[in-house]
Structures are given as C-alpha cells and as structure tokens.
C-alpha cells in the first residue's frame, strides 16, 4: 500500500486506517442495522452514493428474498457483478465528482422506480456521500450545463460541502427532501452513511433523505473511534482532535503539523474534509495528497514525525489512490527525484511527486465514505529503519 512499508510506524498508520474502514463498511453496517428487522413483506430499495453497492449488498444479506426490487446508482467501477447479477436489481454507474448524462438518466430511473412502487410498500433509501453528483432530476429551466458549472465553481472557489449541497438542492426536483415524497402512500425510511458535519440528513446527498426517519449506520465518529482503539491496542497513546478539518488543505496541513510538534508522543487523529483551489488544468491527486505533501514540508528532516491523509472512499480527487503517508524524508526524496514541491502543489499535481517518493496509499474501493482521515504520529523510528 505504500513504498516505504519497511517502517513499522507506517504499518501502524495503515492498520489504524484499515480499522477505520472496517468500522464503517457499508455492507457490514447495513446488515447489522437490518439484522433483527421484524417486517415480513416485500421491500423496495433505492441506494445511491459511493457506498451504494455495499449498502445494497448489506440489505440483501439481511432481508434476502424480502428485498424484491432495487435501483442502485454508484460511481464508475462501483458496481460488483455479485450485485448486478441479482434478479430485480437495476444497477447503474453515473458521473462523479461532476454529474453527467448518466446522472440525469439515473434520475429518470428513480422517478420511474418510485412511480412503479405500489402504495403501501416499504421503501428503504440508502444514501452515502457522492450521491449529489450521481443522481439528479433538474428543476425547471436547469440544464446539465448549469449543474456542471456549479461543480466547477466549487472546485475553483474553495466552496465548502455545506454551501455546495445547499446550492444543489435549489437546482433539483429530488433533493432537499423531495425524493421521499415520490413514494406516495409508502412507508419510507432512510439508512445513511454520513460524510458531512453533524451527520445532518439535510446535507448528505444534498438532502435526499430529508424529511424521513433516518438511521445513521456509519459516520466519521465511528471511523475515528476505531483508529483510537487500534492505536491503543498497539500500545500507542492516541488522542482525537477537534474541530473537524475544513477550509484550505494547506492551512489544515500547517495546523496538523503545529499540533504534532507541540503534542505528546503518540498518535493524534483528525477527520473532516478540506478544499483545494484547482488551476485550470489540474494534475494528479486530491485534497488528501495535497495536504500530505504540504505537511511534508513542515516535517522535513524530523525523523520522529509521520502524517497520513486519506479519503475513506479510497479515491482522492482525480487519482485512484486514497492518499499518502509522508515523513521527514519525503521532501529530500522529492528533491532527489527532480521535483520542486511548491511548483507541484501550485499545479495540483501532488500525486506525481508522492508516487516518486513512494508515499502513496492505495486501498482500492472501500465500500464506504465518511470523509477524510488525517493521522499524525510522533514516534522515533526503530533502530535500522529508514526515516
């Protein structure tokens, strides 16, 4: 998962990340939430988001034949054959992070799915982060071009997720609490994996679940609790830091490294979601890799410091990598490879640098999405280990 894997401290950070991902796995958490479900009749399922497929599989595990029909919308590569092969399941891939024509087609499919749901039916709406781009029915006068313009504005202006989702809701016929109303006369309930502050159903998926009973099945709190347990089980002092990371990734990196330098020996953990103002033609990487490479500048030459930044969905920005682990030797390794780190950061091209330094973290598809995790470790390397 990372090129500097010989360092046992990196293995510790990866163990903590894996513990976090396991704690919020969509399939496991939905299966547990529905394990003692008393309803005996047929159930219809609409699942959308980065964790849609895993949540749908969890519902299938728990409900078996009672889950009679489903519409599942996920990003490219997010639909396993085990799901698409199930009878009665309409599985689709659509645009993310920017909506595309498939997102509008998925919206039309949702309208048809709701219209075909008999009154009196039980309906489960499974929603996770990423749903906003994947599923859309534009309001009157709104076009796909308008939706994509909003996405571009969010990337270039540093708009936070709350403001972005509020704007999306105003452009939609199904967001901001409108989706559940399509299932007239049905018993509708929501299952949610949250990637937003306060785990607010009005924000996840731009409010696809607003207005119905919602069960939170996975959150950033769950993931960070698992990080602390894993570190402490390994004999490492671990603390969680508040508030959530937000705003510019570069500013967040400076804050994390400041706390790392002043804090105790051991692990400090943050969660949240930062932003990067992208140039016209951004390079490879995302906000986690950007944060990590910025952090590497502050910890350069400090053998006892490491920083991990990773997206819990397994994809960071335009790359297939979840994030990176940097240490005191990252910047020297980048220089030896011929990179000017500041130039790469300005070009939003951190991934290329971190690949060259051996610092990328690749998890593959995780089946969840609760935001980003940043771990800062202050621990001297074992004898004979690289910096």
Tokens 């910096």 correspond to 387
Looking at residue 6, what is its pLDDT? Answer: 65
Q: Whole-number mean pLDDT of the chain?
A: 94
- In the DSSP assignment, the letter for residue 182 is G
Q: How far is CA 285 from CA 176, 239, 291, in A?
A: 31, 28, 10
Q: What pLDDT is recorded for position 1?
A: 46
Q: According to the model, what pLDDT value does residue 239 have?
A: 98
> What does the pLDDT look like over 39-68, one tens digit per residue?
788 999 999 999 999 999 999 999 999 999
- On whether the CB atoms of residues 374 and 269 are closer than 8 A, the answer is yes
Alpha helices in the chain (DSSP H): 8-23, 26-33, 52-63, 81-84, 101-115, 131-134, 144-157, 161-170, 220-233, 249-262, 287-299, 330-336, 341-346, 350-356
pLDDT digits (tens, 9 = 90+) for 235-263: 999 999 999 999 999 999 999 999 999 99
pLDDT above 80: residue 353: yes
Res 5 pLDDT > 60: no
**Residue 3, Cβ neighbours under 10 Å: how many?**
16
Segment 147-198, tens digit of pLDDT: 999 988 988 887 877 888 889 989 999 999 999 999 999 999 999 999 999 9
In sequence order, what DSSP letters do the residues of 268-286 get, joined into one string? EEEEE--B----SS--S--
Using the predicted structure, report yes or no on whether residue 83 has a pLDDT greater than 50. Answer: yes
Res. 305: pLDDT tops 90:
yes
Collapsed DSSP state (helix, strand, coil) of residue 235: coil
**Contacts with 306 (C-beta within 8 Å, 6 or more apart), sequence order:** 7, 9, 10, 13, 299, 325, 326, 327, 376, 377, 379
Q: Cα dihedral sign for 347, 289, 321, 272?
A: negative
Q: Are strands 372-378 and 266-272 parallel, antiparallel or unpaired?
A: antiparallel
Give the domains, in start order, of the chain with CATH numbers: 8-22+221-378 (3.40.1480.10), 25-218 (3.40.50.10180)
What pLDDT score does 162 carry?
80
Does residue 294 carry a pLDDT above 90?
Answer: yes
Average pLDDT estimate for 301-317:
97
CA angle 14, 370, 304 (to 5 degrees): 30
Torsion 76-25-292-11 (CA) sign: negative
Q: Which DSSP letter does residue 204 get?
A: G
Q: Parallel, antiparallel, or unpaired for β 122-128 and 238-240?
A: unpaired
């Amino acid at each position: 998962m990372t090129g500097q894997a010989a360092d046992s401290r990196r293995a510790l950070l990866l163990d903590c990340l894996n513990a976090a991902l396991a704690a919020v796995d969509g399939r496991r958490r939905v299966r547990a939430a529905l394990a003692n479900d008393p309803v005996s009749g047929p159930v219809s399922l609409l699942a959308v988001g980065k964790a849609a497929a895993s949540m749908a599989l969890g519902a299938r595990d728990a409900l078996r034949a009672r889950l009679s029909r489903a519409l599942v919308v996920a990003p490219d590569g997010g639909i396993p054959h085990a799901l698409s092969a199930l009878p009665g399941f309409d599985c689709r891939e659509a645009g993310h992070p920017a909506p595309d024509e498939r997102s509008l087609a998925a919206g039309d499919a949702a309208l048809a799915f709701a219209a075909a749901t008999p009154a009196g039916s039980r309906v489960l709406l499974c929603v996770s982060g990423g749903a906003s781009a994947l599923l859309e029915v534009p309001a009157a006068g709104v076009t796909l071009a308008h939706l994509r313009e909003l996405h571009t504005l969010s990337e270039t202006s540093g708009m936070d997720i709350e403001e972005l989702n509020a704007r999306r809701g105003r452009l939609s016929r199904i967001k901001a609490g409108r989706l559940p109303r399509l299932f007239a006369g049905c018993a509708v309930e929501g299952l949610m994996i949250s990637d937003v502050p306060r785990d607010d159903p009005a924000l996840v998926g731009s409010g696809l679940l607003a207005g119905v009973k919602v069960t939170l099945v996975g959150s950033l709190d769950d993931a960070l609790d698992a990080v602390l347990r894993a570190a402490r089980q390994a004999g490492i002092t671990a603390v969680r830091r508040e508030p959530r990371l937000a705003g510019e990734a570069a500013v967040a990196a400076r804050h994390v490294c400041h706390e790392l330098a002043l804090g105790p020996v051991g692990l400090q953990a943050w969660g949240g979601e930062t932003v990067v103002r992208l140039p016209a033609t951004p390079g490879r990487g995302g906000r986690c890799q950007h944060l990590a490479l910025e952090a590497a500048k502050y910890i350069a030459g400090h053998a006892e410091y490491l920083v991990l930044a990773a997206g819990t969905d397994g994809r960071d920005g335009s790359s297939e990598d979840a994030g990176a682990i940097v240490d005191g030797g990252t910047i020297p390794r980048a220089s030896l490879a011929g990179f000017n780190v500041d130039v790469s950061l300005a070009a939003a091209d951190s991934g290329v640098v971190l690949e060259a330094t051996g610092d990328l973290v690749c998890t593959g598809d995780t089946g969840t999405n609760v935001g980003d995790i940043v771990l800062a470790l202050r621990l001297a390397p074992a004898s004979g280990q690289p910096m």
